[in-house]
Amino acid sequence: MIRRLVIGLVLVVASLGADAAPALATGSETPCVYTGGHISLLDTFDLLTGRDYRCVEIFADAAPDWQQWAAPGAVLSQDSTYRDFQWGDWAEQTASARQLIITLNLYPSSENSDPNVLAEGAAGNFESYATTFAQNLVNAGLGNSIIRLAHEANGDWYADSIPNTPSGDANWVQFWRNTVIAMRAVPGAHFKFDWTVNPGYRNIPLSNWYPGDDVVDIIGVDAYDAGVPASVPFSGRWNYLYNEPDGIGAVATFAQQHGKPISIPEWGLGPAAQPGDGQGGDDPAYINGIASVMRNDNVAYESYFFGELEQLQLENSPLSLAAYIYHFGPHGDAVGLPTSSPAPQVTITGGPADASTITAGPVTFTFSDSNPADTPVCSTDGQPWRACSTASSDTITVAAGWHYWRVQVGDQNEQMSLHGRTFTAN
């Protein structure tokens, strides 16, 4: 959105294995989340919504030059301000399929002031960097990633947006095409490319800058609960957002015409008191609306923007959070999951209380499972899921500092029960 110039987070692609990690199948209403590049926020979102998210969106859009654009791990791999986890490691865990959605600029910031950059890209001058980028991902086992290339280009807040002139847009389209074709040519590359529209801005015909059916796999629309004029009654917010120019409805129709699934790569609530943004606050009708699109349209994935204002608003919106869990939680009706009866249930019965302070050293959590045939798994501080110490307890050793522990059970239909505790050791 125009109101958010997100500092890009980058994917670490060094020192990872070469085998491709399994990816979630798109076209199956995959629920995803953006957590600002922080594994701790992913755990927070898991616990808040009651499900183990296996699809994460990250940003690789802050590269200063072509070398770092092609190898984004070199940008912030040592900068804990923006990243506290190697998402390539997370995606490569093969116990269950994981999906990365990578948002990538068309070119690095070193080209921002070059008035001929689109013409040069259209001429194929930068294809070697696209090849290197793709090779780096394949070498890292990330050849199944979804790549959102030059997202929201109908806006005017990113340097790689379309210029909205016939020749400029034609060059942009050819540049986009060249990048995709070069990446796909790398052996082991099985990327899906998402062409993402920003709704309600500049109202440029989608056909003017659509790169073509042969290079686009998914057609996305970022759809925040924002930008609604004050004259629209609260009850009419969803209809306005759905029907605005280049909004969800228009993009869904365009995608259907081209035989493509849609995505909603960025969506979220915003505080109603935020000046000038036309946001709705606790707006369950908006959550219900997004869920209706997931149920009724051919949707590859959706990704809640769990960061900044959208995180705080969801955490502090009881009606919207209840709607989110109803539609997108472990038994949600909007994510294409079959149901079984009874659903699994695990309950923590002992161990440090949430937000408590304990003495560093060994600590034991106990729990009970409604189905003795289940196999609980445990995780400490965002590490990979592992077998718990026993079927009803988990003993870990912790150093001084803040920690979070989780236990989960699930069945073959992806119904699951997830609970955890946070605590500090000293």
Instruction: Give pLDDT < 70 ranges for the chain.
Output: 1-29, 73-90, 92-96, 274-275, 336-343, 382, 411-416
- CA 85 to each of CA 40, 194, 421: distance values in angstroms, whole numbers, following the listed order: 9, 24, 20
pLDDT of residue 12: 28
Contact at 8 Å (CB) between 91 and 100?
Answer: yes
Q: Which of 261, 256, 216, 266 is nearest to 59 (CA)?
A: 266
Q: What is the pTM of this model?
A: 0.78
Is the distance from CB of 377 to CB of 405 less than 8 angstroms? no
Domains of the chain from N-terminus onward: 30-328 (3.20.20.80), 346-425 (2.60.40.10)
CA distance 31 to 336: 10
Q: What is the pLDDT of residue 63?
A: 85
Give pLDDT, residue 81.
Answer: 39
132-152, pLDDT tens digit by residue?
A: 999 988 887 888 999 999 999
The reported pLDDT for the residue numbered 5 is 33
Q: Can you tell me the distance from the alpha carbon of 313 to that of 270, in angstroms, rounded to the nearest whole number?
A: 6
Distance between first and last Cα of the chain: 43
Q: Which of 291, 348, 300 is nearest to 325 (CA)?
A: 291
pLDDT recorded at residue 94: 52
The answer to whether 373 touches 385, Cβ cutoff 8 Å, is no
- Alpha-carbon span 173 to 154, nearest angstrom: 12
